[in-house]
Structure 1
Amino acid sequence: MPHPPGPSGTPVIVGLDLGTTTAKAVAYDEHSRVWADVSREYPLHTPRPGYAEQDPGTVCDAALDVVTKAVAQVRSAGGALSGVALSAAMHSLLALDENGAPLTPALTYADSRAAAEASRLRHDPAGIRLGQRTGTPLHPMSPLAKLLWFREHDRVTFDRATSWVSLKELLLRRLCGETVVDHSLASASGLFNLRERNWDADALRLTSVDAGQLSRPVPTTTVLTGLDPAEARRCDLPADLRVVVGAADGCLANLGVGATAEGIAACTIGTSGAVRVATTTPDTDPHGRLFTYALTDDRWIVGGPISNGGLVLRWLRDAVLTDLTDAARGAGVDPYERMTAMAADVPAGSEGLLFLPYLTGERAPDWNASARGALLGLTLRHGRGHLIRSAMEGVLLQLRAVVEAMGALQVSPSAFRATGGFTDSPLWLQMMADVFRREIGVPDRAEGTALGAALLGMVALGTFTDIDEAAATVTVRAHRLPDAQTADVYDAVFDAFRASSALRHC
C-alpha cells in the first residue's frame, strides 16, 4: 500500500476467508482500516451433474499464499501483526486417511449428489427431530446427507476414512497441527447438537460415524498458538503466530456489517443470497424452513439462504439479452448498468409479470432442489425492461419469503444491513426497502465476511470485550427507507408470488 493507513506499530489482525471460489485475506486494525487486501481464486470442479468439488490442496495452498502476502503487506506498512482469524464457507466435507491425507475432493455446499438421502431425511420423523436439534436444514448441502451418500454409494472410501473434516479443519491441521472445529462450522454440519454443544449421538448412529472420526468442537473464539515449524518457515510467518479458529462465513458476515443485535438483519445478494438475524437463544424452526448456526457461545444466527440471487441477472445478461450485452461492452459500459436503467423505467410489480427465479432449484424457505423457474402473466405489453425488473423482484420476493418465515419464529427483523455487489445500485436498494417494507442500511465496508473474522479475532485476543462492542465499530454510509405506496404494491405482488411458488414446489 502506498501510504500506511495508521501509525507505525498499530496492532493489526488478518481476517482470512475461505470462500466458495476465492481465498481472501484482509488485514484490519480496531478502527476497521485496511492494511492489506489479497485474494486468490481456485476452481470449482463439476465432473458430472450434481457434483461440485474442490481440490483440498489447492484451496489450502491458496489460503496460505494470501495470508503470507497479507502479512508481508502489513509488515511493509509498519503494522504490528496480532494474529489471524479464520472464516470459511459452510458445508464442505472430505475424507482423510490414517496419515491425514485427503482420500476425496472436498464436496462443497453446491454439491447435490446426496439429494435422495436428504429427501429421505425430510420425510422421516427421526430426521425431522434431528434437524430441530442441530439447526441444519435437511438438504443435500449438509455434511450429514453427504456422509449417508458415502456410506451407501462409496463404501470403500467410507470404510477407509479415519477422519471427516471441512476445508477449514484441514487448513488448521496443516497450519497448527490441531484437530479442532469451531462450533459455528460444526453447527452447519447437521451432526452438532446446538444445546449440548457437541456431536449429536443420534446423528452419529444414523451415519455410522464415530465421534473419534470428527474434530473436537471448540468455541469460535478459541486461540491456537504455535504454527507447524515447516509451514511457518515456508510461509515466512512467525512461529508463535496466534490463530483464532473463527466461525462460518454467513455468521461472520452479520458481525462484519454490525448486525449482531436482535432485530437487525444482514441481507446479502451475490451469486446466491441470504437473510440472517442474530438471536440470544439457539431456537430452531420446527418446520425446518430456517437454519440456526452458532456465532459465539451466547449468540446464534437464524436465517435462510436462497440459491438464485445475482445469477438470475447474469443468466439474463448472458443467455437472453446477448445483443444488449455486446452493445454495452462495445461502448465500454457495464451491461448491468443498462439493464437496471431499463428496469427503472418499469413500475413496481412489472405490470403483472411474475418471475419465479428457481433456475437452480431453491433452498429457503421451501428447500426444494427440484423447483424450476417460471415467467407468469406474460403479455404483448411486456418488454425487456419488464423482464429485467420482474427478475430482480423475484429475487427480492424470495428473500422476503425467508423474512416472513423468520417472523413466524419470532425473530422478525426491523431493519436490514445490505451487502454484496448489488449495493452499488440505487434501484436494487430501493426495491429491497419497498419489498421488505423496512429500512435498509449499507455499511462502509463491502467485505463483511473478512471484517467479521477480524472483529471476532479482536474479541478473542482482547481488543474488544464482546461482539457487540466490535459490531458497534461498523459504520453505515447510506440508508434507504420504504415508499409506503410502493410497499403496498409489493404486498399484493408477494401474495401472488407465494401462491405461484407453492404450485411450482408441488
Structure 2
Amino acid sequence: ADNACGAAGVGAITRGEAVSSWGTSGTVLAPTAEPRVDPKLRAHTFCHVAPGVWYVIGVVLSAGGAFAWFRDQCARELPEDERDERLVAEAAIIPAGADGVTFLPYLQGERTPHRDASLRAAFTGLSLAHSRAHMTRAVLEGVCFALRDSLEILKELGLTPAHLLLTGGGAKSAFIRQLQADIFGLPVTTVNREEGGAYGAALLAAVGTGAFPDLMTAAQRTLTRQALSPPNPEMHRAYDPIYRRFHRSLLR
C-alpha cells in the first residue's frame, strides 16, 4: 500500500511514531503493535509492511489538492513556477485565524472523520476587509485542522505520538511545517529523503535482496532525521478556539 510504504520511507515502523503526509490528499498515520480499530469507523486499520506491525490512518481527501485548486483559480496572474511560494509568503503575514476566515477543505467529500461523499467545501467569515492572502491562510489552516481531526482520533485510540514525521509537498515549506506543529501542538521533523512511498518500496526491496536484515535496520542506516521543530505554545493556545470555530463552521 502506498501509505504503508510512505511510512516506511520516513522510518515510521514502530509504535510511538506518527506521520503527517500532505500530498494531493492528506493522511495522519500511526503504527501499532496490535490491531486497533476505531469503533466509530472514522479511521482505518491495516497491516503495515513490517512483519507484526499494524497502522491506523485518517484520510483527508483534499489537502495539497485543496491548495492547488485555490492556487489555480485565484493566482493565475502569478508566474507558474512562483505561485506556491508567493501564495504561502502572502499567507505568512496574515495572523492566525485569518482574521475570521475559515475554509472547509471538503472539495471531494471527506473520509475522516465524516465518511460523507456529499460533504462540500466552503469559505466562511469573508468580508470586504479580506484579501486573497486571508483566503490562502484559511486554506492552509483548514487543511491542518482536517488533519488534526485524524490526529485526535489516534489519541482516542491510545496512539498519542511524541512528535510527527512530515512528508509530502507540505513538508517542503518551512511555514507549513511550523503551521502543522502549532496546530497539532506537537514537535515536527522531516527526513533526508523526499521520495516517500517509492523510497519505502526501495527499502523493502533492499531487505528482500539481503542488503539489510530487516526494515528497521534499513531505515536506521539510510535515513537521517532533522532536528525537531517545536510548536509555539502561544500559537497552539491561540489555535484551539480557531479549531473549534472550524467545527462550528461545518454545522452552519
The bucket for the TM-score relative to the shorter chain is: over 0.9
Equivalent residue for 1:318?
Answer: 72
Superposed, 1:486-497 pairs within 5 Å as 486-497=235-246
Equivalent residue for 2:138?
Answer: 390
Equivalent residue for 1:433?
Answer: 181
Superposed, 1:250-261 pairs within 5 Å as 250-261=3-14
Deviations 1:53-89 (A, max 9, x none): xxxxxxxxxxxxxxxxxxxxxxxxxxxxxxxxxxxxx
Post-superposition offset of 1:456: 2.1
Distance in 2 separating the partners of 1:478 and 1:390: 28
Equivalent residue for 1:499?
Answer: 248
Post-superposition offset of 1:379: 2.3
Deviations 1:426-449 (A, max 9, x none): 111110110111111111100121
Distance in 2 separating the partners of 1:455 and 1:320: 40
Which residues of structure 2 form unaligned runs of 5+? none
> Is 2:37 the counterpart of 1:289?
no
Contact 2:62 2:108 in 1 (8 A): yes
Deviations 1:110-143 (A, max 9, x none): xxxxxxxxxxxxxxxxxxxxxxxxxxxxxxxxxx
Q: Secondary structure at the match of 1:490?
A: helix
Contact 1:443 1:478 in 2 (8 A): no
Q: Which amino acid aligns with 1:258?
A: G
> Is 2:89 the counterpart of 1:341?
yes
Please, what TM-score do these two structures have when normalized by structure 1? 0.48
Distance in 1 separating the partners of 2:215 and 2:15: 13
Distance in 2 separating the partners of 1:274 and 1:498: 19
Deviations 1:230-271 (A, max 9, x none): xxxxxxxxxxxxxxxxxx110111111011121211111111
Equivalent residue for 2:208?
Answer: 460
Q: Which amino acid aligns with 2:2?
A: D
Q: Secondary structure at the match of 1:302?
A: strand
Q: Secondary structure at the match of 1:346?
A: coil
Equivalent residue for 2:2?
Answer: 249
Equivalent residue for 2:127?
Answer: 379
> Is 2:170 the counterpart of 1:419?
no
Distance in 2 separating the partners of 1:297 and 1:310: 31
Post-superposition offset of 1:364: 1.0
> Is 2:20 the counterpart of 1:272?
no
Q: Which amino acid aligns with 1:467?
A: L
Of 447-456 and 275-284, more deviation after overlay is shown by: 447-456
Of 306-315 and 450-459, more deviation after overlay is shown by: 450-459
Equivalent residue for 2:59?
Answer: 305
Q: Which amino acid aligns with 1:363?
A: R
Distance in 2 separating the partners of 1:286 and 1:471: 32
Q: Secondary structure at the match of 1:443?
A: coil
Q: Which amino acid aligns with 1:307?
A: L
Post-superposition offset of 1:493: 1.0
Q: Secondary structure at the match of 1:304?
A: strand
Please, what TM-score do these two structures have when normalized by structure 2? 0.94
Identical-pair percentage: 38
Distance in 2 separating the partners of 1:478 and 1:381: 39
RMSD: 1.6
Distance in 2 separating the partners of 1:317 and 1:249: 26
Post-superposition offset of 1:478: 4.9
Deviations 1:387-422 (A, max 9, x none): 000000000100000000111111122211111122
Equivalent residue for 1:245?
Answer: none
Equivalent residue for 1:484?
Answer: 233
Contact 1:317 1:335 in 2 (8 A): yes
Q: Which amino acid aligns with 2:75?
A: L
Distance in 2 separating the partners of 1:467 and 1:437: 29
Q: Which amino acid aligns with 1:430?
A: Q
Distance in 2 separating the partners of 1:422 and 1:391: 13
Q: Which amino acid aligns with 1:270?
A: G
Contact 2:14 2:53 in 1 (8 A): no
Superposed, 1:1-400 pairs within 5 Å as 248-295=1-48, 296-323=50-77, 325=78, 328-329=79-80, 333-400=81-148
Distance in 2 separating the partners of 1:293 and 1:339: 36
Post-superposition offset of 1:453: 1.3
Please tell me whether Structure 1 or Structure 2 has the larger radius of gyration of its CA atoms: 1
Equivalent residue for 1:46?
Answer: none
Contact 2:75 2:83 in 1 (8 A): no
Q: Secondary structure at the match of 2:190?
A: strand
